[in-house]
Amino acid sequence: MRLWRLIPSCLLLLAAPKVSLACSCVFGVPTQASVRNSDIVFRGKLAAHKFGRAVFSVDEQWKGNPGHRVEIDWREGNHGDCDGFWPEDLKVGNELLVFAIRAPSGVYKTSICLPTKLVGKAQTEFRDLGPGKPPLDSTEGSAPPWIWLAFIAGLAVTLSLLLSRRMRRRDLP
C-alpha cells in the first residue's frame, strides 16, 4: 500500500522540468591561459552602474585597448550560468582586476570562471601578468590614421581632376 503513495511523487519528480543547469568552472587555470581567452585585461575602479553595465575607470591594462573608461555587462554571477561578477565585487569604489570577453553584440562580459577579482585578492595574477601599461585613448569606432590619409589623398586627386577638366572646357573655343 505504501508503494502506491510513492508513485505520484516519483511521477511528479520525473515530469518536472529542469530549472537550470549549474555553472561548471575549472578553477586553477593559469593566468596566461585566461589572458589568451580574454579580449581585454585591466585593473580599474568601479565608477558607476549604468543601464545594466558596470562602468570602470581603467588604471592599468595588459591586453586589448579598453581606453580610460570601459563598460562591462553588470550581472551577478549567481544565476547558475557562470556569466557576470561575484556579487560582493560589484560595489562602486571597488578596485578590480578584470578579464573580459567581447560578446558578438559588442558588449564586454566577464565570468565567475575567469580570474576577475578584487585587487586585494589578485597578488598571484599580478605577479603572473607582470607590469601593465597605462590605458590608451580608446580608438574603437574610428578609422586608423592611414585610412584618413588615404581618404584625404583620394579627395585631393579627385578635386584636382575635376578642376583640370573644368579649366580645359573653358580653354576650348
CATH number assigned to the domain comprising residue 37: 2.40.50.120
**What is the full DSSP assignment across 116-171?**
-EEGGG-HHHHHHH-S-BPPPPP-TTS--HHHHHHHHHHHHHHHHHHHHHHHHHHH
pLDDT at 143 over 60: no
Average pLDDT over residues 55-62: 94
Is residue 149 one of the residues assigned to a domain? yes
Based on the domain organization, do 74 and 157 belong to the same domain?
no
Based on the domain organization, do 37 and 71 belong to the same domain?
yes
Is residue 15 one of the residues assigned to a domain? no
Predicted structure pTM score:
0.64
Q: What is the pLDDT of residues 67-120, one digit of tens each?
A: 899 898 876 545 555 777 777 888 899 999 999 999 888 889 888 788 888 999
Based on the domain organization, do 114 and 149 belong to the same domain?
no
Q: Where in the sequence is the domain holding 110, given as residue range(s)? A: 21-129
